[in-house]
Structure 1
Amino acid sequence: MAGAAQKPDLGNQRKVLEESVVAKGLANVVFVEEVGGGLACKRRRFVALMDPIGRREVKGWILACRDRLTRFGFGWLEHDVRANGCDVLVLNQERLSPERGMVEDLMTVVHCFSSRLDGLRNFRKNLDEALNTCPRIPLPRPA
């Protein structure tokens, strides 16, 4: 899973996953691709994948990178998935220094909230336009 900025990289991630699946001789593999931020836990495909894991219908989960799935709380998510009988394999185990990791986490949170502000501005602009185009109905004056 990737954010919109990483969308071009999604094809490369898919290729790496496909090569890993072939190298491991795995069958009945379903690839799930989704563009969405790692802070959003209500992504449609992400939620659709968690339900069969909870029913123990998924035997293994191979991820290109843990941050593509969730920015925070991966340890908890991994624990829950494993508790439901699903193995987890993360191909890219690259770890950032604690300082670099914190900087990237802060940048992610700031980006997420600034995007929400932009959405609120667009909502407010559309609401103002709608209110300005509505015919004005005079209110009755008190007697």
Structure 2
Amino acid sequence: MSKTYGIGEFAKRIGRSVQTVRRWEREGKLTAKRRPSGHRYFDESDVRAMLGGAPEKRLTVVYCRVSHVGQKDDLESQVKALEAYCLAGAIPVDEWIKEVGSAMHFKRKRFLDLLDRISRGEIARVLIAHKDRLVRFGFDLIEHLALEQGCEIVVVNQESLSPEREMVEDLLAIVHTFRGRMYEIRKYEKQIKDDYPDSLEPKGLLS
């Protein structure tokens, strides 16, 4: 008798997440068998069909990033440190991604391409030196979405590869943005006072 699997066992057997298997069912890419009780199950024929039909092996990718072209030395330091980490852990790497762009901006070409490939189930693992090498804010959300597609994000936590000056520049950019918005609000408040000089003194918008 052929061995059967519940959805969790089946997902592990084919190297995908339970959420991915459920999505494939909804999309019609996979049809689960049903027991008399109505519970779904899979067997070895389903495993062979999914593994045999996989377009390519899922990749292990290393992603390295700095904010400015002037930080190329920092970029190479990331590459060397992660290379040493992978060699020490006997981790085979299929692809190395190096990118220059602020962690504050999500519209980085290679970063977005990586996210697209994760969503298509092409990436099994992404290694980064530190969380902020991927994004300054929102790492937990991206990690959650990656796990939904069966992709693990490995944070090596190389603190020395997370330049303090870059974080300072990002924080200054945030302060500058909010200062600009406060200036616009004050202009708007002044315009109201100028347009309605006889009205009651409005309460300050920023008070």
TM value normalised by structure 1: 0.65
Which residue of 88, 100, 114 maps to 1:23?
88
Larger radius of gyration: 2
Write out aligned runs for 1:105-124 (5 A).
106-110=171-175, 113=177
**Cα shift at 1:92:** 1.2
Greater share of helix residues, 1 or 2?
Answer: 1
Structure 1 residue 29: Cα displacement: 2.4
- CA-CA distance at 1:72 after TM superposition: 0.7
Structure 1 SS opposite 2:96: coil
Cα gap change, 1:44 to 1:18, in 2 (>3 Å):
same
> Deviations 1:12-43 (Å, cap 9, x if unpaired)?
00001111111221224211000000011111
* Paired position in structure 2 for 1:124: none
**Given the two structures, how large is their TM-score scaled by the length of structure 2?**
0.46
Cα displacement (A) at 1:93: 6.3
| Letter paired with 2:67 | G
Corresponding position of 1:13: 78
**Structure 1 consecutive aligned stretches of length 4 or more whose deviation exceeds 6 Å:** none
Query: What is the distance in 1 between the residues matched to 2:174 and 2:66?
Result: 15
Please, which runs of 5 or more residues in structure 1 have no aligned partner?
A: 95-99, 114-143
Of the three residues 56, 62, 67, the one matched with 1:3 is: 67
Bigger fraction of residues in strand: 2
Note the residue ranges of structure 2 that are not aligned, 5 or more in a row. Answer: 1-64, 178-207
Q: Is the 8 A contact 2:129 2:158 kept in 1?
A: no
What is the total number of aligned residue pairs between the two structures? 105
Residue 77 of structure 1 aligns with which residue?
142
